[in-house]
Amino acid sequence: MKEFLMIALGVLVFVVIFQIAKASEYVSVLKGEAKTRKQNNKINAFFLLGFLVFGLIGVWYCNELYYGKTLFPQGSASVEGEEIDRMLLITIAITGFVFVITQALLFWFSFKYQEQDNRKALYFAHSNKLELIWTIVPAITMMVLVVFGLKAWFKITGDAPKDSIVVEVTGHQFAWEFRYPGADKVLGKKNYKLTTAKNNLGVDFDDPASHDDIHVNTTMHIPVGVPVKMVIHSQDVIHDVGLPHFRLKMDAVPGIPTTQWFTPKITTADMKKKTGNPDFTYEISCDQLCGANHFAMRGVIIVETMEEYKKWLAEQTSEYSTLFPAKVPTQNVADSAKLVTQVLPQKK
Amino acid sequence: MSTNAIQTNTKWWNGGRSPFNVSYGKVMMWYFLMSDAFTFGAFLISYGTIRFSVNNWADPNHVFNAFPFAGHANLPLAFVSLMTFILIFSSVTMVLAVHEGHKMNRKGVEKYMVLTILGGLAFLGCQAWEWTHLITGDHAVLVNGQIEHWGTTVSKNPWGHEVMHEGAMVATPGPIAFGGYFFGITGFHGFHVFSGVIINVVMLIKTRLGHFDQRGHYEMIEKAGLYWHFVDLVWVFVFLCFYLI
Amino acid sequence: MSSVATVHHEDVHGSHDSHHEHHHHETFISKYIFSQDHKMIAKQFLVTGIIWAIIGGLFSVIFRLQLGYPEATFPWLEDLLGHWAAGGKLKPEFYYALVTMHGTILVFFVLTAGLSGTFANFLIPLQVGARDMASPMLNMLSYWFFFLSSIIMFSSLFVQTGPASGGWTIYPPLSALGEASSGAKIGMDLWLVSMAMFIVSALLGGLNYITTILNMRTKGMSMTRLPLTVWALFFTAVLGVLSFPVLLSGAILLLFDRNLGTSFFLSDIVVAGKILPNEGGSAILFQHLFWFLGHPEVYIILLPAMGMSSEIISINSRKPIFGYMAMVGSIFAIAILAFLVWAHHMFVTGLNPFLGSVFVLLTLLIAVPSAIKVFNWLTTLWKANIRFTPGMLFAIGFVSLFISGGLTGIFLGNSALDLHLHDTYFVVAHFHIVMGVASMFGMFAGVYHWFPKMFGRFMNNTLAYIHFWVTLIGAYLIFWPMHYQGLAGMPRRYYDFSGWSSFNMFNGLNEFISFVAMIVFAAQFLFVYNFFYSMYKGRKVTDLNPWGANTLEWTTPLNPGHGNWPGEIPEVYRGAYDYAKDGKEFIPQTTPVGDDESKGH
Amino acid sequence: MSEHAVSSPEITFSPEHASGTKKIWKTFWILSIITIAELGIGLAIYNIHKGPDPSAALVLFFKGMVCILTLAKAYYIVSIFMHLGDEIRNMIMTIVVPLLLFVWFITAFLWDGNAWKNLRNTDGGSRTAPTEQVQQHAPAAVDNHEKK
């Protein structure tokens, strides 16, 4: 019923507008075309100026409303992200300046030079000097942006520091899984053809390097202040490890491992205090459309102090020992059994 | 596109005439061929990109070493050379047909068109033989410790590394992409040859019916010729990419 | 549309083709359906484009309902969409199908075929002084391939598993594996086949436009006297002819991957518990191929709007367009750069950082010709005598939107910032403003401006003004706040944000945006109504040259038949922008240069 | 309709390139010789690979040679057979200049392809790449013509 009312109302509005429009044609015939045109011209010129003024006020108001909800007030959660925030500010300053100037000129000129009987348009067809100015100035500005931008880009995409913690991230429809290389600091080889329900990452357990690898689902723990290098895989379609708080993202591509690294600088606990949000968590969003549940492909990052991280790591058992308890000499079997349930893929 | 187009006041560009002294049909044909060059270019570049992204590739001298009725003789590149020459030759006959067209010599045009069509058919025949040979080939491949017998298809490539297995050298599976690109690109080229043959047959019929004599020029033959040479041109690059390097 | 003059097309092409003689009578079929008259073909493109725009726009309204009111149910949606909206709530699968179709339809069918199909067909022969396109036959086929493509795409909406749902960019493996999503089943094949037909259409059209502009110009119409519209359409056609084939290659390879078991884009995949045998392909390769088209494509969409806006701004400012040669040069520069920057859509795909840096450099260079264009438009308005016809208003709106959307491109083209902003609502805001809405504005400007030429009647001004103001204000209200969502890292193409602690603070804003989107969509019906009503009932054109324009199309009779000019094609003596020169308000291109005339450009 | 003498903007044209078949046959021989040279190089590469110690640099050099020869062939086909050489310069430029796009097209694609190989071989930089040794001296020295 509500819908019908809405539709009826909509149709009514349209009919009214159409009638006004039709009437306006008769009016213009009565008043004379030229006069109507002049009137319309004045009204529209005035509106254009109004649009400029209210538009700029709107821009300011929008900023008031939403700036606090962006990620900037809380600052970048990674060292590298600071670089990006700085770039962003520079770019906003430059483009904002150009935006205000050009929009103001556009609408001001439109208003100022509206048609008037006593005005004659100026014949001004070209000026090489002006063209040169607005070729060179933007070119120089762009070069400045390119230089700063690329400096940040090379720093962020360059090789990870040697002492980074390596974590392998694997995306599949629709969840994230993580693998830590264990004590030998080497990730065991993988071969997608070995994938089974239990060994769902397709780890090649013939590779001794895999024996101490730790496999966890959904939640990733990393220590604060140490560079973390992600080696990113995908098992089916393209996903994307989106880390908005750290200002980074990188696609997960089947068949081509990708990588990104960053140095988290605020622990989850500190961030809860900083944002005043007791439920704050760092989230990994999938930023590349990956199927029907793309919007629910959520991962969690817990940034903690080194001690907490080490403690957490020590509590984990290797995937190898959980899958093949018989082959591992002495292990806490009870612990492993507990882990098996976690290792199995959680179907969403 | 046209840096030169911006030049002012050269007499060619003042309108009222073709700036290239060429009819609209030929201009259109040229630009069509250019866009088709981008289609082929994209295929070949994709192929190159994939080849750059893997460590090994099938060695053409091993893959293409057979010749019809030559049994198991190892004749690398021999058959593809034959195909290349067929295509070059049919290009020559095509250009001669165009030449006869300029002279308004209907009989000459007919003669050379027939030769061109025969060349095209011969090329297609060669390609059909080569495909059949590759697909129905029987190569021992070591898969998971077992010997299997494979031909070259879009999902199987028996031309990988050779390893020692039970006292003999046996190939391992090579990159799958090889078959896909080989059949995809030569197939697309073959499709162009095929359509070129169809166009040429139509042109031959129109010549016989005297359409071009009535029209007073053999420009259609020229346009068909452009297409045909383009097919030859593409083959030059296919030859390079698949058989030589 | 009585045909004042009918010239049949052999005449149009000059003597070398005019040997066969067959007279055809103009039946309904030959005049309205299989017409070879460029003006009729343009109208066919336009009407088809309008129909597609309504469909594509409706899709966005439906998925905006889900975004704006994620908790609500709409029982009538079930009546409309059946099991895709069981219980009045859109299913995620269909949400993505709608997003995909919205993108595909608007990008290809509306803003490529509907925009350059309409105006290239309508304006090129009229403005260069030709009786028709170089090849009217191929031109007709161009429309019918587009029609075929439309039919196939439309039919894909009704298949059991739904239409393609992998985004308009159809990245494999999502689009290659039927197991990965329901939209990647038969719907995806239909998408690819439809797109192949579309590419054929674009090529037939594009080749015709290029050839016509090069070969069929009337006497005196040198390239430097061409109106900017024609220049823009020329480079649009060049972009299309050189980049669409690359998409065709990609589409063919993708079809093979889907149906023939090849491994061009697939490698190391385990999907739905199945281990696929494909190895060695690269999913990123497809993105390279796609964006090699995809980036020129955004200029295919934008350039015609730029050209038409330049033209309309100059005419209604009663002033020459400022810096004609700089305008042509910047279009040229944009066209070249458009081919060189495709991978800036792929900064986060693991692109080699050094390669990426070259793309950054080339991408930001585009800002230079864009800036030249903007400042030239502004200078054209300076000290002008502006008439705010609806066309002019939309052209001004275009410039405003182009500035707003163009500036955010500087953020996204800079790879470091793209790391944060890629695939967020910032991108959505950017491209909707700069190539979506701005190009729509260019299209509206063109329709309002050339409607009198097309149909011999005016559109209703009052409706047009209401349409303009609602659309302009609405567009900014919808897309401006989206930048903030993007800066908060909110990913695009999400069905529901409620599960995320990082992104769920914008619910109120989403509702607002959806609400405005519905109003703006509704306002478009003012245009549609105005368009079809005015076609039959609009105020009649009495003056052959109602806007006082210089270009050749206004020298033809009111309803020119096939052949455009009843007599000789007029000769051209000057550029298209001699307004306000020597105290005269305007000097048509057909007026010979007087002895006492001052030197123009 | 007949009253308007149609002055189509397009003029007729006079093809000037019916100069004789000598040039055609000359081109044919040039193409044949280049093709034979290419085959020679192809076989040379084959023999290098068969040899005991294939030199990657030499193979690369030969491959560069065939590429250049192929471009020469393409030049002759387009210029003589397709008569592009006889067209006026502007026409030639409108064909050739857009083809220059291929330079960046090829560079960027192959560059990225090579980057993928590195990512794959090192698992995103988490492992050292398999040594060149393994790739160069594959058993029987068959398919090891690495491009890089």
pLDDT in tens, A122-149: 898 889 999 999 999 999 999 999 999 9
**CB pair distance less than 8 Å for B50 and C281:** yes
Specify the CATH number for the domain of residue A231: 2.60.40.420
User: In C234-374, at which residue ranges do the beta strands (DSSP E only) sit?
Assistant: 270-271, 274-275
CB contact under 8 A, A88 and C411: yes
Considering the domain architecture, whether residues A169 and A260 belong to the same structural domain is answered as yes
Q: C190 — contact with chain B (CB < 8 Å)?
A: no
Q: Hey, are the CB atoms on C351 and D12 less than 8 Å from each other?
A: no
Sort out which chain C residues have CB atoms less than 8 A from A135's CB and list them. Answer: 368, 371-372
* Partner residue opposite A150 with nearest CB, options C360, C480, C580: C360
Q: CA-CA distance, D47 to D66, in Å (whole number)?
A: 16
Contact criterion met (CB below 8 Å) for C552 and C128: yes
pLDDT of the residue at D49 = 78
Q: What is the pLDDT of residue B147?
A: 87
Q: Test B42 with C246 for CB contact under 8 angstroms.
A: yes
To the nearest whole Å, the CA of A122 is away from the closest chain C CA by: 6
Q: C591 in a domain, yes or no? A: no
How far are the Cα atoms of A59, A116, C463 from residue C469, in angstroms, in the given order? 18, 23, 10
Q: Is C263 helix (H, G, I), strand (E, B) or coil?
A: coil
User: Does residue C203 sit at the B interface (CB-CB below 8 Å)?
Assistant: yes
Q: How does residue C559 score in pLDDT terms, banded at 50, 70 and 90?
A: confident
Q: How many domains does one find in chain A? A: 2
> B107 vs chain D: nearest CA distance in angstroms?
16
- The neighbouring-strand residues paired with A215 are A179
Cβ proximity of A210 and A262 under 8 Å: no
Q: What is the pLDDT of residue D17?
A: 52
- Asked if C328 reaches chain B (Cβ–Cβ under 8 Å), the answer is yes
Mutation test of the interface with chain D: which of A168, A230, A253, A256, choosing the one with the most D Cβ atoms within 10 A? A256
Residue C599 in tokens: 């030197």
Q: Is residue A138 domain-resident?
A: no
Residue C215 clears pLDDT 70, i.e. is over it: yes
pLDDT of residue C18: 37
Closest CA to A306 of A101, A165, A202: A165
B3, pLDDT greater than 90: no
A285: nearest CA in chain C?
C491
Residue A164: name the closest of A229, A77, A223 by CA: A229
User: Residue A332: inside a domain, yes or no?
Assistant: yes
- Cβ-defined contact of C264 to B155 (cutoff 8 Å): no
| One domain for residues A187 and A294 | yes
| Buried b or exposed e, range C45-54, using 16+ CB within 10 angstroms | bbebbbbbbb
A: neighbours with 3+ CB pairs under 8 Å? C, D
CA distance B178 to chain C (A): 9
pLDDT at residue D19 greater than cutoff 90: no
Q: Which residues pair with B148 in a beta bridge?
A: B141
Cβ-Cβ contacts under 8 Å, C5 against chain D: 1, 4
pLDDT at B6 over 60: no
- Distance CA(C59)–CA(C84), nearest Å, equals 13
| Domains delineated in chain B | 24-244 (1.20.120.80)
- Residue A270, exposed/middle/buried by CB under 10 A (0-12, 13-18, 19+)? middle
Tokens of A270: 């500190």
Please count the structural domains in chain D.
1
Give CA angle at B39 (B37, B43), nearest 5°.
110
List residues of chain A with CB under 8 Å from any CB of chain D: 159-160, 166, 168, 186-187, 229, 231-232, 255-259
A258 vs D contacts (CB less than 8 Å): 119, 124
Instruction: Indicate if the pLDDT at residue D84 is higher than 90.
Output: no
CB contact under 8 A, D110 and B37: no
Q: Nearest CB to D66: which of B81, B169, B240?
A: B240
Same domain, A101 and A185: no
Q: Do C284 and D112 touch (CB under 8 A)?
A: yes
- Rounded CA-CA distance A59/C403 in Å is 15
On whether both A95 and A213 belong to a single domain, the answer is no
Is residue A160 situated within a structural domain? no
Q: What is the DSSP letter of C516?
A: H
What mean pLDDT is reported for chain D?
Answer: 76
Lowest mean pLDDT segment, chosen from B194-198, C23-27, C236-240, D45-49: C23-27
| Confidence band, pLDDT 50/70/90 cuts, at residue C22 | very low
Q: What is the ipTM of this complex?
A: 0.90
Q: Inform me whether the C-beta atom of residue C359 falls under 8 Å from chain B C-beta atoms.
A: no
A184 and A245 belong to one structural domain: yes
pLDDT at C15: 37
- What does the DSSP 8-state code read for residue C88? G
For testing the chain A interface, which of C270, C276, C370 should be mutated: the one with the most A CBs within 10 Å?
C270
Q: How many CB atoms lie within 10 A of CB A193?
A: 14
Beta bridge partners of B221: none
Subunit contact A231:D126, Cβ cutoff 8 A: yes
Residue C173 preceded by cis peptide, ω within 30: yes
C contacts of A35 (beta carbons < 8 Å): none
Q: pLDDT value at position B174?
A: 86
A71-80, C10-19, C458-467, D28-37, range with the lowest pLDDT: C10-19
Report which of C52, C241, C65, C232 is spatially closest to residue C154, judged by C-alpha positions.
C52
Is residue A52 situated within a structural domain?
yes
Residue C458's pLDDT band (boundaries 50, 70, 90)?
very high
- C-alpha pair distances (Å), C367 with each of A77, B106, C142: 31, 57, 33
How close A188 gets to chain D, by Cα (Å)?
10
Residue D17: inside a domain: no
Confidence of residue C32 (pLDDT cuts 50, 70, 90): confident
* Residue with the larger pLDDT of the pair C164 and B245: C164
D16 — pLDDT class (breaks 50, 70, 90): low
Q: What's the confidence (pLDDT) of residue C24?
A: 52
10-residue mean pLDDT profile of chain A (348 residues): values are: 82 90 86 87 94 95 92 90 92 94 95 90 89 93 93 91 92 92 88 89 89 91 94 94 93 93 94 90 93 92 94 90 76 45 41
Rounded Cα distance between A212 and A200, Å, is: 17
- Which of B1, B35, B232, B236 to mutate to test binding with chain D, by most D CBs within 10 Å of its CB? B236
pLDDT at residue C23 tops 50 = no
- pLDDT category of residue C143 using cuts at 50, 70 and 90: very high
Cα C389 to Cα A318: distance, rounded to the nearest angstrom: 73
Distance from CA of C336 to the nearest CA of A (A): 17
Closest-approach residue (CA) in chain A for C577: A125
Cβ distance of C280 and B154 shorter than 8 Å: no
Is the pLDDT score of D141 beyond 70? no
- Say how many domains are in chain C: 1
Does D88 fall in a domain?
yes
Give me the CATH number covering residue C339. Answer: 1.20.210.10
Across the interface, do B16 and D147 touch by the CB < 8 Å criterion? no
Put simply, whether A59 touches C (Cβ < 8 Å) is yes
Residues belonging to chain D with any Cβ–Cβ distance to chain C shorter than 8 Å: 1, 3-12, 98, 101, 104-105, 108-109, 111-116, 119
Cβ contact, residue pair B230, D82, below 8 Å: yes
Query: Is D108 among the domain residues?
Result: yes
Q: Which residues of chain D make contact with A187, given a CB cutoff of 8 A?
A: 123, 126-127
A1 occurs within a structural domain: no
Supply the range of the domain harboring residue A34.
26-114
Residue among C16, C340, C569 minimizing CB distance to D7: C569
CB–CB of D126 and A258 under 8 A?
Answer: no
Question: Could you report the per-residue pLDDT of B129-163, keeping only the tens digit for each?
Answer: 999 999 998 888 888 888 888 888 888 888 888 88
Nearest to B42 among C19, C249, C260 (CB): C249
B186-233: per-residue pLDDT in tens?
Answer: 999 999 999 999 999 999 999 999 888 888 888 899 999 999 999 999
Please report residues of C whose CB lies closer than 8 A to that of B39. Answer: 245-246, 248-249
Contact status of C416 with chain B (Cβ, < 8 Å): no
Over chain C, what is the mean pLDDT? Answer: 90
Which B-chain residues 55-114 have CB contacts (< 8 A) with chain D?
Answer: 55-62, 76-77, 81, 84-85, 88-89, 91-92, 94-96, 98-99, 102-103
Q: Which chains touch B (3 or more CB pairs under 8 A)?
A: C, D
Contact C554, C541 (CB under 8 A): no
Residue D105: domain span: 22-141
- C320 vs A193: CB contact, 8 Å cut-off? no
Write out the residue range of the structural domain in which residue C496 sits: 33-583
> How far is residue B12 from each of residues B9, B21, B31, C234, C593, measured CA to CA in Å?
8, 8, 19, 18, 21
Q: Does residue C562 have a pLDDT over 50?
A: yes
Check CB contact under 8 Å for D116 and C284.
yes
Chain D, nearest residue to B61 by Cα: D46
Nearest-CB residue to C416 (from A58, A83, A125): A83
> Amino acid identity of C436?
G
DSSP letters, C337-382, are HHHH-GGGG-TTTT--HHHHHHHHHHHHHTHHHHHHHHHHHHHHHT
Distance CA A339, CA C164 (A): 40
pLDDT of residue C287 exceeding 50, the answer is: yes
Hey, are the CB atoms on B214 and C19 less than 8 Å from each other? yes
Q: How many CB atoms lie within 10 A of CB C586?
A: 19
Q: Give the pLDDT score at C121.
A: 94
Residue C463 lies in a domain: yes
- Rounded to a whole number of angstroms, the distance from the CA of D26 to the nearest CA of chain C is 32
- Beta carbons of D97 and B19 less than 8 Å apart: no
pLDDT > 90: what percent of chain C?
76
CB contact under 8 A, D126 and A229: yes
Extract the tokens encoding B156: 């199987």
Query: pLDDT tens digits for C100-121?
Result: 999 999 999 999 999 999 999 9
Residues 6+ away with beta carbon under 8 Å from C158: none
